[in-house]
Amino acid sequence: MKVFLGNAPWKKPGFYGVRAGSRWPHFEADGCTYMPFPFFLAYATSLIEKDGFTPLLVDAIAEGMDDETFFDRITSFGPDIIFFEISSASLNTDLRILHHVRKLVGEDVKIIFAGAHQDLGTSNFLSDKPELDFTLGGEYEFPLLSLIQAIRDRSPMESVPGLVWRDNKGDVHTNPRGALHANLDDFPWPSRDMLPMVRYNDRPGGIPAPSLQVLASRGCPFGCVFCAWPQLMYGGNSYRTRSPKDIVDEIEDCVKKFGFRSFYFDDDTFNVGKKRIMALCQEIKARSLNLPWAIMARADHMDRELLETLKDAGLHALKYGVESGAQQILDSACKGLDLDKVAETIRITRELGIQYHLTFMFGLPGETEETARQTMALALDLDPDSLQFSIATPFPGSRFYDMLVNKGHLLSTNPDEYDGYHNAVVRTDALTHTDLVALRNEAESMWKEHCRQRRARG
């Protein structure tokens, strides 16, 4: 059986969408180079191929593909099954693609949706979309394999975890989610041979290109209200890790095969479990990779010993999520982050010569003009090498979304408006959506001036 797996085109004038591989699907301006690796799609492709199916994985976004070229790739492959990873933010585009593909391939080809959208695990989503055959809720690689096997073998659909499906009468059924696959080392390494590997770009601190994106863990044990990813994809705050050997085996193999000059761990939260991280650093050093690398981390789970060990193993840069300069805002968002600890960790990070990128957002519960200006002031004071200012965007499935609905502070449910940069779909008790956009724009201007002055000082 032939299985097509796709990250479909998603564009609007002047922007390209970032969907598969991103915990925050959004638009980037044309000319930007950021492109996340589609981990779930690539892992699913490996699993399917290992089981004897014939897959074709197409990342239309990374290839800059238009709709017609994408449709041609589908029809020329002649699949028996088509699978798309979708998201809440791209939903209008995803449904348009679905409608067109169904007309192209006819009724015999099965079409499946999965990804970061809350309703995929419910009967409501499938019941009014006759073009769609199945949806899968949550982490989908092993359930997708089970579904494809069931289609091939004509076996009962009740056994596929997290599946929403129709019976012969057209009635919709929802299977309970199964347990997450506990041992990440059981996953074959993600398929990369079909993908435009030089296009994937996430290089904190300017680590050299081409740069490999890799996962050392899945999930996050923390409970930030604004983060939908753990709830949607993992069903909670689980945290699973790979063995250091398996991780470095994969890195070595990819460096030899593709000529990568650096690597980046795009984990939800890389630095959970100091003993494990120290062992991974030891494994990296023992292999003499001699490549710079970067991570996504929490500042409050760093100390000097760990940072020194990471640096010694080749860590060049990292990202810390700070989000707000007001402790009360972080507390109300259940971030569990102490700003005094953040300042101390960043001081050590800077002292060791590790480049650092910080992220901040405006519009979390309780935000006022005063707290927003505290965020601006802290961002400048911490003086990162780079940063990101965004507007809090509530994806369905996050506690933040439910909080906004309950307070009447959610201003739109149109996914096309959920860009997190140029538009706000939220308000707070003190600030309108217009205020939040203005504050973000002011913060960007302040940061550009700060960087200009920093360059002038040399």
User: What is the DSSP track for 223-261?
Assistant: --TT--HIIIIISSS-EEE--HHHHHHHHHHHHHHH--S
What is the pLDDT averaged over residues 386-398?
A: 92
> Are 330 and 275 within one domain?
yes
Strand partners, 398: 396
Q: Is 309 helix (H, G, I), strand (E, B) or coil?
A: helix
- CATH code assigned at 143: 3.40.50.280
179 in a structural domain: no
> Are 83 and 160 within one domain?
yes
pLDDT of residue 243 exceeding 80: yes
Q: What is the pLDDT of residues 149-182, one digit of tens each?
A: 999 999 999 999 999 999 999 999 999 999 999 9
Residue 306: per-residue pLDDT: 98
Strands (E), 88-238: 110-116, 134-136, 163-166, 172-174, 211-214, 217-219
> Are 158 and 254 within one domain?
no
Burial of 13 (0-12, 13-18, 19+ CB in 10 A): exposed
Mean pLDDT score of the chain: 95
195 in a structural domain: no
Cβ 451 vs Cβ 424: under 8 Å? no
Cβ 25 vs Cβ 18: under 8 Å? yes
What is the pLDDT averaged over residues 331-339?
A: 94
End-to-end C-alpha distance for the chain, whole angstroms: 61
What is the pLDDT averaged over residues 295-321?
A: 97
What is the pLDDT averaged over residues 57-61?
A: 98
What is the pLDDT averaged over residues 77-83?
A: 98
188 in a structural domain: no
Q: In the structure, what pLDDT confidence band is assigned to residue 418 with cuts at 50, 70 and 90?
A: confident
208 in a structural domain: yes
Amino acid at residue number 95? L
> Are 133 and 209 within one domain?
no
> Are 247 and 157 within one domain?
no
Contacts of 288 (CB under 8 A, 6+ apart): none
- CATH code assigned at 306: 3.20.20.70
> Are 283 and 382 within one domain?
yes
* Domain extent for 385: 202-457
> Are 373 and 284 within one domain?
yes
What is the pLDDT averaged over residues 433-443?
A: 97
Token digits of residue 194:
């079909």
pLDDT of residue 416 exceeding 90: no
Q: DSSP assignment, residue 231?
A: I
Token digits of residue 443:
């913060």
218 in a structural domain: yes
Cβ 101 vs Cβ 74: under 8 Å? yes
Total domains in the fold of the chain:
2
- HSE toward the beta carbon, residue 176, CA cutoff 13 A: 2
Phi, psi of 401 (to 5 degrees): -60, -50
121 in a structural domain: yes
Query: Distance between CA atoms of 408 and 410, rounded to whole angstroms?
Result: 6
> Are 266 and 394 within one domain?
yes
pLDDT of residue 229 exceeding 90: no
What is the pLDDT averaged over residues 6-29?
A: 94
Q: Is 145 helix (H, G, I), strand (E, B) or coil?
A: helix
User: What stretch of H or E contains 374?
Assistant: helix 369-382
Phi, psi of 137 (to 5 degrees): -95, 140
Handedness of CA 91, 97, 101, 102 (dihedral sign): positive
> Are 32 and 93 within one domain?
yes
Q: DSSP assignment, residue 195?
A: S
Residue 228: per-residue pLDDT: 84
> Are 168 and 206 within one domain?
no
Q: Is 301 helix (H, G, I), strand (E, B) or coil?
A: helix
pLDDT of residue 55 exceeding 80: yes
What is the pLDDT averaged over residues 126-146?
A: 96
Residue 419: per-residue pLDDT: 80
Residue 17: per-residue pLDDT: 95
Contacts of 441 (CB under 8 A, 6+ apart): none
> Are 104 and 236 within one domain?
no
Residue 217: per-residue pLDDT: 97
Task: State how far the alpha carbon of 230 is from the alpha carbons of 26, 130, 149, 217, in Å.
Answer: 18, 29, 27, 13
77 in a structural domain: yes
pLDDT of residue 90 exceeding 90: yes
Cβ 395 vs Cβ 231: under 8 Å? no
> Are 107 and 40 within one domain?
yes
Residue recorded with tokens 């929490």: 298
To 10 degrees, the CA torsion angle through 82, 126, 148, 106? Answer: -40
Q: What is the pLDDT of residues 196-208, one digit of tens each?
A: 999 999 999 999 9
Task: Please say which residue of 125, 154, 174 terminates a domain.
Answer: 174
Percent of the chain whose pLDDT exceeds 90 = 92
Task: Please say which residue of 130, 157, 174 terminates a domain.
Answer: 174
What is the pLDDT averaged over residues 280-286?
A: 97
185 in a structural domain: no
Q: How many CB atoms lie within 10 A of CB 433?
A: 19
Token digits of residue 4:
């097509």
